[in-house]
Structure 1
Amino acid sequence: MRTIIKARWIIAALWIAMAAVLFITAPDMGQLTKEKGQIAVPEGYPSSYANKLLEQMSKDGDTDKSVVVVFQDKQLLPNREAALKKAITILEKDSSLHVSDITSYFDAEEDIQKQLLSKDRTTLLVPVTFDANKISAADFKAKVNEKLKPLKLDYEMTGQPLIDDDVITSSQEGLKKTEYITVGFILIVLILVFRSAVAPFVPLLAVALSYLVSQSVVAYLVEYADFPLSTFTQIFMVAIMFGIGTDYCILLLSRFKEELAHGKDKIEAILTTYKTAGKTVLFSGFAVLIGFTCIGFAEFQLYKSAVAVAVGVAVLILALLTIVPFFMAVLGKVLFWPVRGNIGHPQSKLWETAGRFAFSKPLISLLIVAAVAVPPILMYKGTLSYNNLDEIGDQYESVSAFNTISDKFGPGESLPVTVVLKTSDALDTNDGLIAIEKISRAIEQTNGVSKVRSATRPVGKGLSDLYVKTQANELNKGLESGNKGLKKIKDGLAEASKSIADQKPQIEASGKGINQLIKGTESIKAGISDVEANMRKLKDGTDQSKEGVARAKKEIQAAKKQLTAQVDQLNGQIENYKEISKVLKAALSQAESAQGITADVQKMIEQTNQ
């Protein structure tokens, strides 16, 4: 300590030089907070894994960010329609905005329009996507305000990029308020403690110098060593460093004052102060240093970023051992001006009385403490809030616009929860779409979920084609068409049989009967063609019901093949009436069998619907 006292002017000059160099050359802490201070969930949690999957789904180098422009007016449509169309055109066409996608109410389908215009027709949403690699969220907002100002439309903008930007702005403004309030409050406390116009400024100068230096050191670590950082890092440093720094300085200056009051010169008073109170400060400071260093092992970035306080405490301890002795040695008793003569202070009667009472009546003292402490503890409910927007308030445009969307459309419309599904099989198939719809229904049934949008319900409504009832109706239509075709086959066979019976004498006498028979076979072929056409309709209605449809299709195709073979056989054996008659009867029997199979399929469908 004697060496420090002797070299006090050199040490003070080094501190000032170091602070100046670091302050000038260190990276901007505010800019670093914007770039690297966003609070992220560590790896291993569902949300962080989902974000990785979303990044994999995005195109390489995709830097698009989405925001929502919220237009409001009591008579928005149709009174302001022309201005709105012009505003959307500006957003879409102006190259300086770097807009990559925009959803216009006036160009959208009816289902989409319902999602963009509130029921009372006072609020219109315009989702916009811009390239964040070419323009920042803050600059995009500023340019949009510049471009739309002549239109005199009432609007606000929100979205995750704008909310993040406002959170950082809020933290920076909060930091300034914290600094002013902290300095002011500490100054008042120090004046009350020392009753001096000089002594209160020593702790403030020592701690402020420590804060400036340590903040610059942290900025270098963040820039070049990937040091953890959050929007609360600087606030942590201000609160802790000014708090414990002032406490330690009060202890050191009070002990120095006592030693001076006992008649020691300032050098001896400094040495005695640091031999006694100095050890207490040193050990306490190292305990705080170790504690905040250990916080650096946390996983959550917000807590992990508090490790910067450890850097601040280390610098603060160094300042307490060098800067404070400098002021003690230079100013001596002047530190406690305007107090003159005996600078010692009498024993406090208040604290003496409180101490004697606590020792003499400990139980009563505990009851008094309990009476003060227990009610707040019991009243505390420990309710957690997951609404981060409450931290910055609706004085910011992004929060105000978000609340507008929540009131008019529901809170999930602006920042919906995204569920990411990954499978080894393709999802753009019938089975994949059915799986997506099942998951959508399960999510929809969760408490608090009002609407689910997915591949099967792009506007929040399920596709009716995927429902069993709709599929069954299509199958019924196909089966009805199949029945009509089979009836035509039956009628054609009956007509052929009748023709052969009527024309038997002519068949034996001449070839005229052959022509009649051919007409009958043509009717059969026509019926078969109808079956083929209706089979295609049947397939369209039965693709989603594979088991029942496969059975019906297989049986009907078998009937068709047998009928075709029998007709060919009929043409080849036209001279043999008995053989023809057998073939026709067999064909008729097959047609009736196919019709029976169709009836079985219809019964199966009815049972499925039930």
Structure 2
Amino acid sequence: MTTQLAAPDHTGADERPKRSRTKTLLPWLVLAVWVGLMVGGYSLSGKLDSVTRDGQVDYLPASAQSTKVLQAEADLPGGENGLLVVVYERPGGLQPGDREAVERGRSELAERFGNGTDALPDIVDSADGTALMYAFPLDRDAVAEDAAATADARALLADRPSGLDAHVTGPTALGADMDEVFDAVDATLMLATAVVVALLLIITYRSPLLWLVPLASVGVAAIAAMATVYALTQVFDFTITSMSSALLIVLVFGAGTDYALLLVSRYREELHRHERPIDAMLQALRGAGPAILASAATVVAGLLCLLAADLNSISSLGPVGAAGIVAAMLVMLTLFPALLVVLGRRVFWPFVPRLGGESHKPRSGWARLGELVSRRRVVSWVVPLVVLGGLALGTLGASGTLPQLDQFARSTPDSVVGAKLIEARYPDQSGQPLTVMSRPGQSLEVLTAVEGTPGVAQAELRRSSDDWVEISVIPVDAPDTTGETATIERLRENVREVAGEEGALVGGPSAERLDEAETNRTDRNLVMPLILLVVLSILGLLLRAIVAPLVLVATVVVSYFGALGLSNLLFDHVLGFAGLESSVPLIGFLFLVALGVDYNIFLMTRVREEAVRHGTAEGTKRGLAVTGGVITSAGVVLAATFAVLASLPLVMLVEIGVLVAVGVLIDTLLVRSVVVPALTMSLGSRIWWPSRLSRTSEDSVDDRV
């Protein structure tokens, strides 16, 4: 038998060199494929801006009244109208010549934007004699280029007496200032994110070369993601907003870097066991690949749950973010490993892993933490959960929804200065116009109902078509006040009684924000449970258990509410924000649940692997010792990547960045490092129920190293 087994296998001997040559050529083939893809993908990625839209309808719920009003306005003569409000102020009181300058500016605006037949708008004096104001309507062409219209208006009004301030505000100017901010977001965010990731990689790897490889790979993933999203817009009808474009960049850099850290850690281990880098990488991919695939699948599935949302900007984030995660995963499982193999062991210089060396120190800090948690298992999960529960109480005293005029961070654009000036100088005329659309046959009855609604200062018929008649409504109360909200709700009830559900619609900027906030609440109630269900299903399939997924998801949910409470305290008492943007809780929940479960996947797949041989308690300590450093590094990188959003000039993006960064740090440093290991060791093999591993006692496992 021995002789027979030792007989030479000439066929196998011939095949081994072929397989070896194939392995050697494989990385170069992968590089060639990606070079070809980038040649075509780079030009497509540059076209993403051309399909990015930031119109108000792109951020509104598809079924809301205010959205239908915008769609109906587009069919009226002149199309969707716009409005510039010009306010002048001399703090010490108006002087001779000021009114003439205001009249001259009004005439120049009429010459630039008017059609030559409309009467000039009335100039209104403030009660204290310090300000003058008039409202100037714009037609379709001017609204289509509202940024240019606003800039032109401000340039025309520059010719005025010294000491007389002029501000251009109103819905069109606010939209233009918002667009200007969004235009600068992508370039700023890409550069800032790349710099932050590069610095953290240099600190993590302490190598002058290694950090360049994941950074370059993530850059390729970002280009691939943007090209893919652009291609998808040519096939499917979904909206790309500047918000989803910004979050795409952060997701790709954050997730891609995490995948790189996990793979490099496993690759370094295998280089101690395999002579050839290609063999070490293939083994590393077998070990880390399933966790990365499961991680990406979890985030993609969570993102696609957003398709169930009614809010256009939230719904569109689903496919955009999913495309980014898939691109990051593909690059980090193909191009990135190929680059590492081609560069060989020298890429790790000066800490080059040697064949036969130790892959990690058995008594590392993470090993000591595992021992400490093992000795104080109950305390290690009870105390942190109580702390997180206390932090969650911060959600109870949070400010309300973020007002429109407080959406800008660190700087106040001219439109906001003007709007706040009107509120101060014209307290009885600071109401923002609302729009009521009525069917032609019922317009007079609807107008009567509008005029009789408490909280309405004035109403008048404006334009009409075969399908709709426009009624302009000025409420008594200022925007974003409880009085204005009550007026909108009364208007909708009164016109519904006269014209039915679809016979009259109430819209306008304030109604749009009201619909957006209400839809965000509805979407949260639908999408959040859906995300949890999808994540639980994926974890159940991955870990082949029921108890473990329930425990992991429960810890991530507790972590989310703790992060939300702490973030609310920061927003209210440190950053001084006027409220929480209504879409932030849902977006934060998605990222923290999906990304938070990621780290638990990285940990628990290794714990399960070790538990098969050493038992659950010992396997948990070993899994924590091996993965603790790399997962913590990944969490810090991801948190820092999202924290880059805090450098942007929009409160919404700052709030998303702070919430996700705080949540990731809580999850990485406390929940995943202490709470999850403590709960796992407390439950023992029961955590794997109902899999066969749950029926294996701690004493019956193979305890050999």
Same fold? TM cut 0.5: yes
Q: Percent identity, aligned pairs only?
A: 22
With the length of structure 1 as denominator, give the TM-score of the two structures: 0.64
Match of 1:326 in 2: 338
Asked whether the equivalents of residues 65 and 132 of structure 1 are also in contact (C-alpha less than 8 Å), the reply is yes
Look up the equivalent residue of 2:307 and give its one-letter code: G
Which of the numbers 263, 276, 284 marks the counterpart of 1:273?
A: 284
The separation in 1 between residues aligned to 2:118 and 2:107, in whole angstroms, is 12
Which of the numbers 67, 91, 97 marks the counterpart of 1:48?
A: 67
User: 1:420 deviation in Å?
Assistant: 4.5
The separation in 2 between residues aligned to 1:10 and 1:437, in whole angstroms, is 74
Look up the equivalent residue of 2:90 and give its one-letter code: D
State the SS of the aligned residue for 1:151.
coil
Q: 1:348 to 1:149 in 2, by over 3 A?
A: farther
RMSD: 3.3
The separation in 1 between residues aligned to 2:55 and 2:97, in whole angstroms, is 45
The separation in 2 between residues aligned to 1:224 and 1:66, in whole angstroms, is 35
The separation in 2 between residues aligned to 1:387 and 1:149, in whole angstroms, is 29
For the pair 1:452 / 2:457, whether they are aligned, the reply is yes
Asked whether the equivalents of residues 255 and 328 of structure 2 are also in contact (C-alpha less than 8 Å), the reply is no
Q: 1:244 to 1:25 in 2, by over 3 A?
A: closer
Match of 2:151 in 1: 142
Match of 2:31 in 1: 12
Look up the equivalent residue of 1:39 and give its one-letter code: D
Match of 2:408 in 1: 392
User: 1:362 deviation in Å?
Assistant: 1.7
Query: Larger Cα Rg: Structure 1 or Structure 2?
Result: 1
Match of 1:501 in 2: none
Asked whether the equivalents of residues 156 and 401 of structure 1 are also in contact (C-alpha less than 8 Å), the reply is yes
Q: 1:138 to 1:275 in 2, by over 3 A?
A: same
Match of 2:125 in 1: 117
For 1:337-348, list aligned pairs within 5 A: 337-340=349-352, 342=354, 344-347=359-362
Match of 2:219 in 1: 208
Q: 1:156 to 1:224 in 2, by over 3 A?
A: farther
User: 1:86 deviation in Å?
Assistant: 1.6
State the SS of the aligned residue for 1:124.
strand
For the pair 1:187 / 2:198, whether they are aligned, the reply is yes
Asked whether the equivalents of residues 405 and 414 of structure 1 are also in contact (C-alpha less than 8 Å), the reply is no
For the pair 1:416 / 2:433, whether they are aligned, the reply is yes
User: 1:99 deviation in Å?
Assistant: 7.8
Asked whether the equivalents of residues 36 and 229 of structure 1 are also in contact (C-alpha less than 8 Å), the reply is no
With the length of structure 2 as denominator, give the TM-score of the two structures: 0.56
The separation in 2 between residues aligned to 1:305 and 1:4, in whole angstroms, is 41
The separation in 2 between residues aligned to 1:285 and 1:415, in whole angstroms, is 45
Which of the numbers 402, 406, 420 marks the counterpart of 2:419?
A: 402
Structure 1: give runs of 5+ residues left out of the alignment. Answer: 106-112, 445-450, 462-610
User: 1:13 deviation in Å?
Assistant: 3.7
User: 1:52 deviation in Å?
Assistant: 4.6
User: 1:212 deviation in Å?
Assistant: 1.1
The separation in 2 between residues aligned to 1:47 and 1:299, in whole angstroms, is 13
Asked whether the equivalents of residues 38 and 230 of structure 1 are also in contact (C-alpha less than 8 Å), the reply is no
Which of the numbers 212, 222, 228 marks the counterpart of 2:239?
A: 228
The separation in 1 between residues aligned to 2:115 and 2:371, in whole angstroms, is 74
Alpha-carbon displacement from aligned partner over 1:432-480 (angstroms, at most 9, x marks no partner) = 4xx7556534432xxxxxx52124999889xxxxxxxxxxxxxxxxxxx
Which of the numbers 282, 304, 316 marks the counterpart of 2:328?
A: 316
State the SS of the aligned residue for 2:242.
coil
For 1:103-114, list aligned pairs within 5 A: 103-105=120-122
For 1:503-518, list aligned pairs within 5 A: none
Q: 1:82 to 1:383 in 2, by over 3 A?
A: closer
Q: 1:354 to 1:159 in 2, by over 3 A?
A: same
For the pair 1:87 / 2:114, whether they are aligned, the reply is no
User: 1:53 deviation in Å?
Assistant: 5.0
Which of the numbers 359, 365, 368 marks the counterpart of 1:353?
A: 368
Alpha-carbon displacement from aligned partner over 1:144-184 (angstroms, at most 9, x marks no partner) = 33333333552121222332232233234344443344333
User: 1:100 deviation in Å?
Assistant: 7.3
User: 1:35 deviation in Å?
Assistant: 6.1
The separation in 1 between residues aligned to 2:269 and 2:473, in whole angstroms, is 78
Q: 1:324 to 1:290 in 2, by over 3 A?
A: same
Which of the numbers 131, 137, 143 marks the counterpart of 2:139?
A: 131
Asked whether the equivalents of residues 436 and 473 of structure 2 are also in contact (C-alpha less than 8 Å), the reply is no
The separation in 2 between residues aligned to 1:460 and 1:81, in whole angstroms, is 27
User: 1:236 deviation in Å?
Assistant: 1.6
User: 1:193 deviation in Å?
Assistant: 2.8
The separation in 1 between residues aligned to 2:363 and 2:181, in whole angstroms, is 43
Q: 1:183 to 1:412 in 2, by over 3 A?
A: farther
Asked whether the equivalents of residues 215 and 257 of structure 2 are also in contact (C-alpha less than 8 Å), the reply is yes
For the pair 1:255 / 2:238, whether they are aligned, the reply is no
Q: 1:228 to 1:88 in 2, by over 3 A?
A: closer
Structure 2: give runs of 5+ residues left out of the alignment. Answer: 1-18, 462-471, 477-705
